[in-house]
Structure 1
Amino acid sequence: MTAMTALHTNPLFDRLHEAQRILVAGAGGGFDIYSGLPVALSLLHQGKEVHLANLSFAAIEGLPPDSWLAPDIAAVTPDAAPHQAYFPERTLARWLALHGYPGTVHAFARVGVQPLRAAYRALIEHYAIDAVVLVDGGTDILMRGDESGLGTPEEDLTSVGALAGLDIAGVTEKLVLSIGFGVDAYHGVSHGLVLENIAALERDGAYLGAFSVSRTTREGALFVDAVAHAQANTPEHPSIVNGSIAAAVQGAFGDVQFTDRTRGSELFVNPLMSLYFAFELDGLARRCLYLDRIEDTHLIRQVSSAIALFRDEVLSARPPRRIPH
């Protein structure tokens, strides 16, 4: 059961109060680590030692041998792979260095649960991490598996599965953050069902509440700057999720088009996109109906196949739930 806290405190930061070395990791690949940047910066500003990591979609196999902490986990610095145009981890490392922060972002290979768990173990033990915050830009990490649409859950739930089965002495907290409410409608997620799932996690004692990223805060302003920097440095493939969140943080509303990637689709940028929803990772993992199916995977395509097989067995998917208006 979730421990009691006071209304005037933030439950997430209250849970991290005693932690000194915290890993903030992007769950779903791509630019997901940017979604965790406001929290990571806040923890840094509190004097914590913070390390960043991300499940990478970039071609990290060619990084030099001294970049690798262990199989499937590499340290990416601002000068890494200068020939690669798309490299979110390096782009963030460059932004961090420009602003006087430690300029290293760790990149996990896009693998299945077993090797990803080993990579997480190596990273956590290397830095003596005592708390892990897994971040999803979007809400598909909250899908149980029996919904009408799951979005793109493969990488998110591989990350959840890897950490749920990881028991390391000294790691006192494993938490999940979801930000960008509404953005996954672009991928067929029913946000009425997202709210239903959050309510169930509340009943289970795994929901730690929500809080917003405001542009009036130092961290909110820096997040907006980091997203703009990423868009300028990755013009061919800007992040739809973080672009939408940053637009929401700045007060934009409705069909805000900032990239040709969304041409022909109607976006719904809104104030709820700037909300972090916080959860206990183990409680979230227990509600996933197919997590056991992906436990023994070694390749990401095995994860995709296992989820597809599970979906074929779902006799009656929960239909989309309309939010009254």
Structure 2
Amino acid sequence: MFTLAEPPLFARLRDARSVLIAGAGGGFDVFAGLPLGIALTDAGKRAHFANLSFVTVDHLPSSVRVAPGLAAVRSDTPGNDDYFPERALAMWLSRNGFPDTVYAFAKTGVKPLRALYRRLVRDLDIDAIVLVDGGTDILMRGDEASLGTPEEDMASLAAVAGVDVPVRLVASLGFGIDAYHGICHAQVLENLAALSRSGHYLGALSIPRESREGTLFLDAVAYANRVTPRRPSIVQGSVGAALTGRFGDAHFTERTGNSELFINPLMSVYFTVDLAGLAERSLYLDRLEGTRNIWEVSSRIAEFRDELPSTRPRRAIPH
């Protein structure tokens, strides 16, 4: 039974000992799991970080490659100096006294990605997985007006849906940021309502700015932006801006110069759901089974969308 005093996310993780927090959509998504990882570490649990990586994992030094398509990135791992989010997080973790390993999954299809998750579950004795999405793409079921950029998120969701661990959850952080990619956020809320009816919505959880988790998250985002000056994270920067009270069209990087932003307090709120329940609601996730690379994932999503007689019409959040 859940209570107001213990958010359902943490109630579900209460008995977990070793938790894998994995960025579902690649890029800087893993940073969205940092506040959760800090809270779990402070509660005496082992928190491990992983990310679907946009770097070429199999080109990393052999000393950090765990298996084909999987690397254990550390603060001193050589690689692309312009863009390497996993190393940026590992460097920050090392500077702040945390274990500095961040596992990097190759951007691939469901079948090999699931095998890599199973390898980590075995090697790290994982008993809970939390997929984190910087944004809301992962909450789309398939018939919305737009799916945003679903390939990586859906590959991760499908992969973990086939991994046998006691607890599997999804946490979305950055509500509103995906408007840039065409997501209709009224439909995000509609999907969460449907998940609530089926008993799979685990509620929303705000990151307090003055908390240890909030303070360290802001420091980590600022650090990552300093070490990745050419491609700072728009998503995590937006979450950080929201956490510090900025609102509306508040820009923090030249990368967003031609866009209108809507920074808002809901960006710093985790929306959490049961992973199996989310996977069951997807209209096309089964089509991704057996895919061996990300291009197959993209192709099968496109085929599904082409076959839809119509999509759910856009609607505005009343104002």
TM-score, normalization by structure 1 = 0.97
Q: Which stretches of structure 1, 4 residues or longer, exceed 3 Å deviation after superposition?
A: none
2:43 to 41, 46, 60: 46
Preserved CA contact (<8 Å) 2:144 2:311: yes
Counterpart-to-counterpart distance in 1, 2:239 and 2:185: 16
Shift of 1:10: 1.1
Task: Report sequence identity in percent.
Answer: 59
On the 8 A contact 1:73/1:123 being kept in 2, the answer is no
- Summarize deviations over 1:265-297 as a string: whole Å, max 9, x none: 100000011110111100000111110111110
Specify the alignment match of 1:209 in structure 2.
203
Match of 2:146 in 1: 149
Compute the displacement of 1:12 (Å). 0.6
1:120 has 2:114 as partner: no
Give the counterpart of 1:193 among 187, 201, 208: 187
Shift of 1:66: 2.7
| Matches of 1:74 and 1:247, distance apart in 2 | 31
Residue 92 of structure 2 corresponds to 95
**Aligned equivalent of 2:31, options 34, 40, 43:** 34
The alignment status of 1:131 with 2:128, answered yes or no, reads yes
- How big is the shift at 1:84? 3.0
What are the within-5 Å matches in structure 2 for residues 1-325 of structure 1?
4-167=1-164, 171-325=165-319
Count of matched residue positions in the alignment of Structure 1 and Structure 2: 319
Distance 2:304 2:14 in 1: 39
Structure 1 residue runs without a partner (length 5+): none
For normalisation by structure 2, the TM-score amounts to: 0.98
Q: Over aligned residue pairs, what C-alpha RMSD do you find?
A: 0.9
Residues 222-275 of structure 1 deviation map (CA, whole Å, 9 limit, x = unaligned): 000000001111111111100000000111101111112111110000001111
CA offsets, 1:63-86, max 9 Å, x none?
122312222111000111155321
Paired AA for residue 77 in structure 1: R
Say if 1:83 and 1:182 are closer, same or farther in 2 by CA, change over 3 A.
Answer: closer
Give CA deviations for 1:73-106 in whole Å, capped at 9, x if unaligned.
1100011115532100001000000000001100
Q: How many Å separate the matches in 2 of 1:57 and 1:243?
A: 18
C-alpha separation between the residues in 1 aligned to 2:88 and 2:101?
A: 10
| Contact 1:254/1:268, CA 8 A, preserved across alignment | yes
Q: What CA distance in whole angstroms lies between the structure 2 residues aligned with 1:165 and 1:178?
A: 20
**Aligned equivalents of 1:66, 1:175: Cα separation in 2:** 31
User: CA shift at 1:215, angstroms?
Assistant: 1.1
